[in-house]
Amino acid sequence: MIVGVPKEIKRDEYRVGMLPVGVEELTRAGHRVLVEKSAGLGSGIRDQEYATHGATIVEKAEQIYAEAEMIVKVKEPQPREWPLLHAGQIVFTYFHFAADEALTRAVLDSGVTAVAYETLRDGRGRLPLLTPMSEVAGRMSIQEGAKYLERPQMGRGILLGGVPGVAPANITILGAGVVGANAAKIAAGFQANVGLLDINMERLRYLDDVMPPNVDVLFSDRHTIREQLSRADLVVGAVLIPGAKAPRLIDHELLKLMKPGAVIIDVAIDQGGCIETSRPTTHSEPTFIVEEVVHYCVTNMPGAVGRTSTYALCNVTLGWVLQIANRGISAAARDLRPIAKAINIMDNHVTNRAVADAFGMPFDARFDDEA
C-alpha cells in the first residue's frame, strides 16, 4: 500500500502522524511511505530522519493526496484539503465529525473511508487513541497552572511547592479520570496539597490506594466543591460524561468564592467546559480573567508540546496503521472490531450512529454491534 503523511496545516498544530520508526516498519512490511517536506519539523523530526528509514520526501501535499491509498495524519482535514481527498482512499486521523457538519458532508461526498482515532474502541470498551492525549493534557495542566500562577502572568504569585516555612499551593482537580489522575500525579510531585474529586466510587477507591499522601481523594458534591474553591490556588477542570456536554460544576456565583489571582485550567473545554465562565481559547491567547480569576481554556493543549504528543500518539496508532496497510481496509474491518468501530464514513455512507444522529443523516449499520 502507498501510505501518505502530509504536514498538518491547522493553526497551532505541531504534531505529525508518523515517526521515522513507523516509516521503517511499513517499509519492512513492503509498503511505500510518502512524507511531505518538513511534515515533522514542528515535532523536531527532520526530513532526513524519515528518508533514512525509507520514506520518499514529497514537495507538495497535492502529490501525497493524489498518490496515497492511505493518509495518516493528526487533525481532521481542513477545508483546503477537502478537494484533495479522493474516492477509495483511506484517511486515518482524528475527525470529531459530530462537531462539524461541513467537514462531515465534505468527507461523505469525497468517497474516502474515514477511520477516526477517537472512536477506535478496544475489547474492554476503552478508547486507546484518545488516552495518550488526555495523559498529555493532564500532566500539562499543572505545568500551565504553575506558569499562570506567576504574578507577571496575572496569577497570585504562588510557587506550587512553597519553600521551607511557606505553605505549598492548594490544587483542586475536578474529575479523576485519565486527565485528573495524571494532573494529580504531577501536582503531588510538586509537593502541592491536592484535592482530587470524582463521583465514581470505584475510581476513588482505586486512586485512594495508589495516590501519594498529599493527594486527598474526595467525593465530588456541591459542598466539597465549594469548600475546595475557597482554598484553591489552582483548579483543574477534568470531568467527562461520555457523549454529553461536560457538567457545569462551577457557576458564576461559585467563582466569587475563589481568591483573586487564582487560576482555572479548564481541560474539559473541548466538551463545553465544566465552569460557566469558560470559553474556548488558543495557544496564542490562552487566558482571560473573570472575577479576578485567570481562566486558561485551550481546546488543543497537546498541540503545544508537539514532540511529546507526536510520540505518545504514534506509539498507539502505528499498530493499527500496519494492520490496515497489511490487510486492506475491508479485511481489517471484518476481522478487527476496533477498526470497524473506528470507521465513521465509508462508500459515501455514515457508518457511525452518533455522527448520523448529530446531523439527521441516514445511518449505515454495516459495522453496528446491535444490527
Ligand X SMILES: NC(=O)c1ccc[n+]([C@@H]2O[C@H](COP(=O)([O-])OP(=O)(O)OC[C@H]3O[C@@H](n4cnc5c(N)ncnc54)[C@H](O)[C@@H]3O)[C@@H](O)[C@H]2O)c1
- For ligand X, the binding residues in 161-180 under the rule CB under 6 A are 174-180
Starting at the earlier edge strand, list the strands of the sheet with 2-5: 56-58, 32-36, 2-5, 70-72, 90-93, 113-116, 343-346, 349-350
- Residues 6+ positions from 231 with CB-CB distance below 8 Å: 170, 172
- Residues 6+ positions from 93 with CB-CB distance below 8 Å: 17, 71, 72, 73, 74, 75, 76, 77, 115, 116, 117
Chosen residue from 39, 267, 339, 346 binding ligand X by CB under 6 A: 267
Residue 316 found at the interface with ligand X (CB under 6 A): no
Instruction: Give the orientation angle of helix 131-148 with respect to helix 306-327, to 10 degrees.
Output: 170
How many residues contact ligand X, by CB under 6 A?
32
Nearer to ligand X, 20 or 195 (CB): 195
Chosen residue from 106, 262, 269, 318 binding ligand X by CB under 6 A: 269
* Cα–Cα distance list, 2 to 5, 26, 34, 58, 70 (Å): 10, 10, 7, 13, 7
Residue 133 found at the interface with ligand X (CB under 6 A): yes
Which one of the spans 75-83, 246-254, 285-293, 363-371 is the region binding ligand X (CB under 6 A)? Answer: 246-254
Residue 74 DSSP SS3: coil
Residue 199 found at the interface with ligand X (CB under 6 A): yes
Cβ–Cβ under 8 Å, residues 146 and 139: no
Catalytic residue at 96?
yes
Cell of 259: 481568591
Residue 300 found at the interface with ligand X (CB under 6 A): yes
Residue 76 found at the interface with ligand X (CB under 6 A): no
Shortest CB 61 distance to ligand X, Å: 25
Query: Annotated catalytic residue: which of 198, 233, 266, 270?
Result: 270
Nearer to ligand X, 25 or 144 (CB): 144
Short-list 95, 77, 90, CA closest to 10: 77
Shortest CB 242 distance to ligand X, Å: 7
Query: Annotated catalytic residue: which of 96, 198, 295, 364?
Result: 96
Backbone angles phi, psi at 151, to 5 degrees: -60, -45
Catalytic residue at 335?
no
Residues that bind ligand X (CB under 6 A): 133-134, 137, 174-180, 197-200, 203, 220, 238-241, 246-247, 249, 267-271, 299-302
Question: Which residues have a catalytic role annotated?
Answer: 96, 270
